[in-house]
Structure 1
């Protein structure tokens, strides 16, 4: 394990930027989101979580992957998209890091999504542990320990005050660490002692959170019984179908494919979509989910039942709490888990 003093952050970022595209939590007008770093940016690694999850770096909100051009009867196709440059995503919280693994289960399963795979292979993920979880956090309900070591990243880091502790986990992490050997220092026994104290204190904080006892494993029953449950009609009455929950969610992965066509050229692109929208999965004969109840049910049955049934019990939620914070009518996955669990 190594460390770097915070007053050397500018040197750290500049050194990484020499070999990689560097993306950091950048604060603009009071909002913190991941963006490409440049000298003079306001970096805020102390913000608990970014406004929008960093999944867009491996699954972009909009991505062109085919361009076409017509010349008479001749058609020219050009495959584009993907990620060509090596990059470092620095400051990812453990909940967001887990979401990458959940997305891997979708896009790297056969047939593999080549554009997604390329983005994953080009990236080095550096985490930032959490010591001050918010009242809306419930990552521990899904087995995530935000203050310890994440297995889903290339480098783990911990903010202990004046310095950041640095611990590479993979070969990519080791490669990055070697490039920073002139900046990183050895940790001391006092550093390790401070880290242990912070981790223990965080463990106590997690137990005191309002959602500490939320347990998705309490959801039991046959698939048909859960599907036909009366709670869907009850809860969905308040849902606006705005899609805010899906767009801030780090694990949602629905998308649409569209063509933009000019006179002689055009492009095919995909962009995020939401199962909460009335035109999602719209086909020639109409929509297979005609009511908000059906769309609401699809979202949460997928996260809490369908996905774990197909992925060795892993739920499609990481407890980041963004949907709890963003839903304009305070209708979120927490309420669904409690209702399906019998509360």
Structure 2
């Protein structure tokens, strides 16, 4: 294990950031944190979470996919992608790192592979940072994610694991990309004893156990009860306040739905095809030429939570597509969130389950 004192972390960022793009959480003008490219003077935020997760680096909010021009009946297409340079994202929390695995299962591990997403994943090195002060809205432990980075479940450790303990940042490489990072950074790092990290892990685990949503009951979310949950009376109640604003999907580290639009530039550049994030909470998300199968916010809300808690885990060996980051709890303007849905399912009497 390697380390650097906290007061010298800027020198490590400079060493890395002058060799390749480096992104880290930085306070914005509202006091919250966003990922920002390192440059001299940029300081690492002490906030637990960024407003949006690091998903943006691999699945950006908007993306230019292809351009094409038409001259008579002749169509010329141009792929705007260029070879990406390697980059590093520092300070990714364990829950957000598992979010990459959730998206990987769809965009990398199924056919066809999303080559746009793959290109970014191949070039990005993820450095996770253990959560010294978990928030009351965090519930990653419900899904077996270890905020202390003591154990690795579904990619929570990233390419490199990092801990802040005893006034030092400790680093441990987990992958080939992680080893390459350490090779670049080793001149700024020193060999370190892991005792302080062990103490920090225990402290984080103790704090996590005391969180109000640390162990939500997921026992009813089983394939055999899918139709019972789908037809349950709970959806009328849990969806009645929903505004359909889509905030929850835009801050979520695992939402991956998108729309594709064509824009005529009106110039010799022709037409640009753009991929952009979309939300199943929008009333036109499933609008087709003749019909919209989800007429009300009840159907749209149900789809979102059923996908997170039922459809996705049924298709991916029990892996939930919620990672318990708590962003939807913090961001929803009407305080509607997945924790309330989980509790409502457990409390209702019209669904089976083991209990």
Aligned pair 1:237/2:240, yes or no? Answer: yes
Cα distance change of structure 1 residues 277 and 82 upon mapping to structure 2, 3 Å threshold: farther
Of residues 164, 167, 172 in structure 2, which corresponds to 1:159? 164
Give 1:75 shift.
2.1
Count matched residues. 339
Deviations 1:252-282 (A, max 9, x none): 1111010001345110011000000001122
TM-score of the superposition, structure 2-length normalised? 0.92
Instruction: Please report how far the alpha carbon of residue 83 of structure 1 lies from its aligned counterpart in structure 2 after TM superposition.
Output: 6.0
SS in 2 for 1:257: strand
* Structure 1 alignment gaps of length 5 or more: none
Q: Which residue of structure 2 lines up, in the alignment, with residue 284 of structure 1?
A: 289
Aligned equivalent of 2:250: 247
CA distance in 1, matches of 2:94, 2:216: 18
Q: How far did 1:123 drift?
A: 0.4
- Contact 1:83/1:119 (8 A) holds in 2: no
Match status 1:21 vs 2:26: no
Q: Establish whether residue 172 from structure 1 lines up as the match of residue 177 from structure 2.
A: yes
Q: What's 1:94 paired with? A: 94
| Aligned residue number for residue 219 of structure 2 | 217
Inter-CA distance 277–133: structure 2 relative to 1 (3 Å threshold)? same
Q: Distance in 2 between matches of 1:249 and 1:186?
A: 37
Q: Which residue of 2 aligns with 1:49?
A: 49
Q: Is the 8 A contact 1:83 1:115 kept in 2?
A: no
Any conservation in 2 of the 1:289–1:295 contact (CA below 8 Å)?
A: yes
Q: Distance in 2 between matches of 1:326 and 1:215?
A: 23
- The answer to whether the aligner puts 1:80 opposite 2:80 as a matched pair is yes
Contact map agreement 2:235 2:302 (CA 8 A) in 1:
yes
* 2:32–2:47 contact (8 Å) kept in structure 1: no
- Contact 1:259–1:269 (8 Å) recurs in 2: yes
CA distance in 2, matches of 1:93, 1:82: 29
| Aligned counterpart, 2:325 | 320
- Give CA-to-partner distance per residue, 1:39-65, whole Å, 9 cap, x none: 112321x32111111111110000011
Where does structure 1 differ by over 6 angstroms across 4 or more consecutive aligned residues?
none
Cα gap change, 1:83/1:222 in structure 2, threshold over 3 Å: closer, same or farther? farther
Alignment RMSD, CA only? 1.5
1: CA distance, partners of 2:161 / 2:344: 36
